[in-house]
A and B are shown apart, each in its own frame.
Chain A
Amino acid sequence: MRVRFELTTRLAELAGFRDEALDVTGDTVGDALRALEQRLHGSVLVDEGRLHPSVLVVVDGEVFRRGDGSTPLRGGETVHLMLPVAGG
């Protein structure tokens, strides 16, 4: 299954892309996040294999609540990951 990821700010810097379609093993939002967590493995925004809890996850315009990892995906969705920043 392919899912399109759109990343903001430091997430994009660390992943090396702003938007890109990635292959996901599985068929849930949790599986999609794992694909990205593997891509960002070892970065400051992944701790013990999990994305930082302040990353806002939006799937086709709907905010994804952590703990709803079993929410199904069909493929073709856009997963938008936004990291609030603090530049002022």
Chain B
Amino acid sequence: MSIANGDTALATDRHRRQKLLPWLDAGAQERLYGSTVLVTRVGGLGGPLAQSLAVAGVGRIVLFHESALLDEDLHRMILMHPGAVGAPRAPQAVDSLRRLGRPGFEVVGFAERATPETAARWMREADLAIGAAPTYEERLILNDAALAAGKPFVDAAMYADETHVLCVKPGSSACLRCLVPQPPPWRADFPVLGAVSAMIGNLAASLCVRILAGAEPVPWGEFVHLDAERLTLTRTKVPRRPGCPACARAGRASS
């Protein structure tokens, strides 16, 4: 497709249209270009989330995603390649994201689970951590690492038609460990439609962009529950849990 004369200048600024948003001016866009995010898992939820961050102009994505691609992943994991069943997922996600980012965009991928040690190491460079893993334990690892570093954390999750997101402001709002003091029993083969996991992934991505851009409002500490079947959205302010060890570390990080 050719670009008509006169449109050439418009075509040189990839992010011109999103900078028309009142909360995303040129300065905020520069903050996005210079930002690093850390995300655990880029599957049915984290994949669309990372995709939206890449095209929005985030400077660097550091991702953790263990194990190999299954054919049954392909109905929701849009960063994976249908011809690469049996191959590790992380390199496929890195490859897909690199194609989407602007020149200079960087993706660092690890074909393993995030651990407290690796999360803490990367949180020294990251501006934001994101929980999109299919286990509470990995989400809590990133929550804890982000708070210990004094950085925000966004958790997004789903089950069947129900989804939720929580934005954590260290030392100020409730955190994921306030909400989930001990992981409940979990069903690893949870029901999922790719459209629904992508929906909450993209809602979380829009909140991540707001946080990285320094825009308000952000629903800090609110359990935002979005039901794709009933088409309802509820917002519940989660109280900070007295004695929460992650929040205590956030207090030390900010002091």
Which residues of chain A in 32-80 are interfacial with respect to chain B, using CB atoms and an 8 Å cutoff?
44-45, 52-56, 58, 61, 63, 65, 80
When the two chains form their complex, are residues A88 and B239 in contact, meaning their CB atoms are under 8 A apart?
no
Q: How distant is B100 from chain A, measured CB to nearest CB, in Å?
A: 20
When the two chains form their complex, are residues B239 and A86 in contact, meaning their CB atoms are under 8 A apart?
no
Which of B16-24, B154-162, B244-252 sits within the interface?
Answer: B154-162
Tell me, yes or no, whether A9 is within 8 Å of chain B by CB: yes
Tell me, yes or no, whether B132 is within 8 Å of chain A by CB: yes
When the two chains form their complex, are residues A87 and B159 in contact, meaning their CB atoms are under 8 A apart?
yes
Interface size class of chain B, counting residues whose CB lies under 8 Å from the partner chain: 35 or more
Contact of B197 among A53, A55, A56, A87 (CB under 8 A): A87
When the two chains form their complex, are residues A83 and B184 in contact, meaning their CB atoms are under 8 A apart?
yes
When the two chains form their complex, are residues A87 and B139 in contact, meaning their CB atoms are under 8 A apart?
no
Q: How distant is B236 from chain A, measured CB to nearest CB, in Å?
A: 6
Interface size class of chain A, counting residues whose CB lies under 8 Å from the partner chain: 20 to 34
In the complex the two chains form, what is the Cα distance from A63 to B240 in whole Å? 11
When the two chains form their complex, are residues A88 and B156 in contact, meaning their CB atoms are under 8 A apart?
yes
Residues of A within 8 A of B74 (CB): none
In the complex the two chains form, what is the Cα distance from A80 to B227 in whole Å? 14
Residues of B within 8 A of A87 (CB): 45, 134, 157-159, 190, 192, 197
0/1 string, A6-38, CB within 8 A of B gives 1 = 001110000000000000000000000000000
Tell me, yes or no, whether B223 is within 8 Å of chain A by CB: yes
Please judge, given known A-B contacts A86-B157, A88-B44, whether A54 and B197 are in contact too, CB under 8 Å: no
What are 10 A-B interface contacts by the 8 Å CB criterion? A10-B187, A44-B184, A53-B182, A63-B236, A82-B164, A84-B176, A85-B162, A85-B164, A88-B45, A88-B46
